Structure 1
Amino acid sequence: MPASGAARDPQLPASTAVSARQQLDQLQLANREVALARVAEVLNRQQGAAQQLMLDVRGRSLTVQAAIGDTTLETGDWVKVMRAGNELQLMGKLAQTQEAGIARALAQRLPWQQSIEGGLARMLSALAQGTRQEPAGTTLPSAQTPQPLAPSVRQAIEQLVNRLPGTTSLATSGSATEAGLQVRQWIAESGLFAEARLAQSREPTLPDLKLALGRIITALLSQQGSGPEQFNRLTPLATPELVQAPLQFPNILTPPAPQSSAEPPTVGQMLRLLAGMLNRITVNQLHSQVLSTRTTADTPAPVSTLLLELPWVTPQNEPRIAQLRIEHENPEGDPAGKKRAASIAEWRLSLAMDLDDAGPVHFDVALRQEQISARVWAEKQSTLRQVQQELPTLRQSLSELGLEVTDLDCRRGSPQGSTTRLEHRLVDTKA
């Protein structure tokens, strides 16, 4: 039987159920809803009886008295919890499997994601305005004079920004082949493949987003005379929209505020910001692995999924994000050998962007051998009309490439997104 039991705040008497309900409401946990929690600390261990635990649930700490039977919980363990009225029920412990390890690493970083475009906007602001000193005593932050960035920090940020593609990069390409090569390079340098690139080359100046963020972190720590261990103690800054929908992809965020209206950050804030940006890239890496190892009745064949966020800058030097989802369904790779009749490998691509004039647009493309279908979604009516006018030209261009266009459509609004339910990947251990 899975370990189960009731958990509530032991500091509250039984008569104060309202307080327990308020704490659970603050977790935004509905009745009978299941969530993932991490054992932050075992406060009081009693053999064969209840344990007092400190749980991290959705980025909040909760002290509980847990009746867990014969199951042993240690600091760092992940458990499933379910709200039952004004109590939490411990449903089971995460099994030590490879897939569970991926899910555990993913859940650990979900509450601490910083949007890439928001983080880049703050770094561009620091380039122009410098950084504030860390608040001390009664000194008001607004009364402090910003200090210019250290030369090493400025150089690291400028190198990153100069590598970002702009809106004119593809427009000035001489041919479709050149444009394709630029997109390929753009994807390769997205940060999602940093570890693979490092395995192939030990060159410390590789043009990779994740590595570039690491160089900025190193320069900031050096400026403060701190080592890498200090960075690991920081609590990353999170973007509220990513806290509310951490596994929604694509997740079009609100464009960051103009740089001139933002107060210069402190060095500590920049480090916490960078920590959140690294978490965002890592979440996309782990999320891709979770989706790639999942098979359902609807998709019995293996589907490799890749989630990428590609930063670029507008002519006004404002950072934006293109969110890209690539899926490859390959029946030949079915480990069970259950190939469907006349199965053909299929590529699917989804691209979401929020453009200043055109607004949010979303492209869905599917390719099966020489057959291609595409659908464009636009939220603005003016953009919808413009895309509809261009559809005949797009159909002709695809036909000239030797492709058979089976479907080409444009719709108002946005497609219905799907959200990964991480708890479906959890496996209970037995007591």
Structure 2
Amino acid sequence: MIIQPTSLAALAWAGAASGSAAESWRIGTVLSARPLGINPDGMMVLQIGALAVETEAPKGQLPSQFQVRVLTLGAQPMLEVISPQTPEPATQLAMRERLPQQNGYAPLLATLDALSQRPALRQLPAYLRPALAMLEHGVRTPAEITRGEGLEEAIKRSGLFLESQLAEPQLDMAGLSQEDWKGALLRLASLLDDYLPTRRPAPASTASETPPPLQQRGLQAQPRAMLPLALLDDDVDALLSRLHGEVHAALARVEVAQLEATTTSAWMIEIPLQGENGHDILQVQVQQHGEADSGSSWTFGFAIDLPALGPIHGELQLRGLRLSVRLWAERIDTVHRLEQQFGTLRQALSASGLTLDQLSCQQGMPQSTGQHSAILLRTTA
């Protein structure tokens, strides 16, 4: 059962989150809840702890009193209804554990850049240097992802499908560990745990700042991260300590995306890219609508923030052989540059047999359209 809050409920939480009413709201906290009734607008009013929120009336009937566990905070918190007779599902437990640990790839990639430029890196143990090189090898080039087969390979090796590939017969284990992003993260994390045994990585964010899972946030163009000036010296050990935490945070990020993929027909994939004088992150969302037997359609979204172009979003909707393409760019000069490529794109699509229904580019960023961007309660019933 999914219960989504109205904007009023989200605003009520946002206003209360800084006050004493929200002091008891922490990740993992169990709160008492009860339905107060239906208001004249047909919305259900719930009291959760010391707060009252409005939600869409659920399909099933809620008990007169129940408990919820806080999974995420922020302007749109997510809570799980606890069934006393049913143990917490393993996926929900794993999600709750990993959300406070996860972080984006940008800080990790910035630290990798800094390490690669340090001569003292050659003094690291021989077993650690190949693991760093393997992770860098997992970063794709723009030339690779601008080809269909290259993008397919980048998605396949993004870490999201590692375990399913491990289950395949006649698997090349050595090749997979070298090519898969999560495999490279796991190897480096294990070696850094041994190299820095007394330094445990801290969570990527505090409980009050824990963001929701990727699907709930929707596509986000992620800029490059800047390292603190204090780390831009020759202190390789300080950079490795920072890398230690960032590798574990990136692993949690991949695992959050994997856990989400078990409950929805959408996949959120992040692909690190080798850019000019640094690394960039391509975020891709693929979603299937309908059943394959009944003529399903697909939505392919992407977001990227390039230093030369700024933030860019795109959405491609494919229904049979009919395609609609919508682009957004924050900078007006980027809009003009993209529109100059429309003629070439139309020719390429026509040659591939697709019918182009729409091709547009506008200035500004789109509103998030994630179906799960406003989840308030996720029940176990």
Shared fold (TM-score, shorter chain, > 0.5): yes
CA deviations 1:63-102 (Å, max 9, x no partner) are xxxxxxx99x9xxxx725999xxxxxx9953567699543
CA deviations 1:174-194 (Å, max 9, x no partner) are xxxxx2111111111101111
Amino acid in the other structure paired with 1:315: E
Q: For 2:221, what is the secondary structure of its paired residue?
A: coil
Amino acid in the other structure paired with 1:381: I
1:388 has 2:361 as partner: no
Greater length-normalized contact order (CA 8 Å, ≥ 6 residues apart): 2
How many positions carry a matched residue from both structures? 317
Change (3 A) 1:253 1:202: same
Q: 1:191-340 to 2 correspondence within 5 Å? A: 191-200=159-168, 201=171, 203-206=173-176, 207-224=179-196, 226=197, 234-238=201-205, 243-244=210-211, 246=213, 247-257=216-226, 262-263=231-232, 264=235, 265=238, 267-290=240-263, 292=264, 304-316=265-277, 318-331=278-291
Structure 2 residue runs without a partner (length 5+): 1-13, 31-64, 74-78
Change (3 A) 1:283 1:169: same
Counterpart contact for 1:36–1:80, Cα < 8 Å: yes
Amino acid in the other structure paired with 2:153: Q
User: What is residue 28 of structure 2 aligned with on the other side?
Assistant: 38
Deviation at 1:414, TM superposition (A): 1.1
Segment of structure 1 superposing worse, 248-257 or 345-354: 248-257
Segment of structure 1 superposing worse, 248-257 or 355-364: 248-257
Change (3 A) 1:39 1:112: same
Q: Distance in 1 between matches of 2:24 and 2:145?
A: 46
Q: For 1:111, what is the secondary structure of its paired residue?
A: coil
Change (3 A) 1:170 1:210: closer
Q: 1:2-21 to 2 correspondence within 5 Å? A: none
Change (3 A) 1:205 1:215: farther
Structure 1 residue runs without a partner (length 5+): 1-23, 41-69, 84-89, 132-145, 172-178, 293-303, 334-342
Change (3 A) 1:94 1:118: farther
Q: Distance in 2 between matches of 1:393 and 1:425?
A: 45
Deviation at 1:213, TM superposition (A): 1.0
Counterpart contact for 1:36–1:423, Cα < 8 Å: no
Q: For 1:211, what is the secondary structure of its paired residue?
A: helix
Correspondence for 2:367 among 391, 416, 425:
416
Deviation at 1:389, TM superposition (A): 2.5
User: What is residue 324 of structure 2 aligned with on the other side?
Assistant: 373
User: What is residue 162 of structure 1 aligned with on the other side?
Assistant: 137
Change (3 A) 1:209 1:403: same
User: What is residue 356 of structure 2 aligned with on the other side?
Assistant: 405
CA deviations 1:290-314 (Å, max 9, x no partner) are 3x1xxxxxxxxxxx10110011111
Deviation at 1:124, TM superposition (A): 2.8
Change (3 A) 1:123 1:186: same
Counterpart contact for 1:350–1:362, Cα < 8 Å: yes
1:118 has 2:107 as partner: yes
Counterpart contact for 1:99–1:425, Cα < 8 Å: no
CA deviations 1:198-219 (Å, max 9, x no partner) are 2223724521111101111222
Amino acid in the other structure paired with 1:409: S
Q: For 2:348, what is the secondary structure of its paired residue?
A: helix
- Identity between Structure 1 and Structure 2 (%): 24
Change (3 A) 1:82 1:241: closer
Change (3 A) 1:152 1:103: same
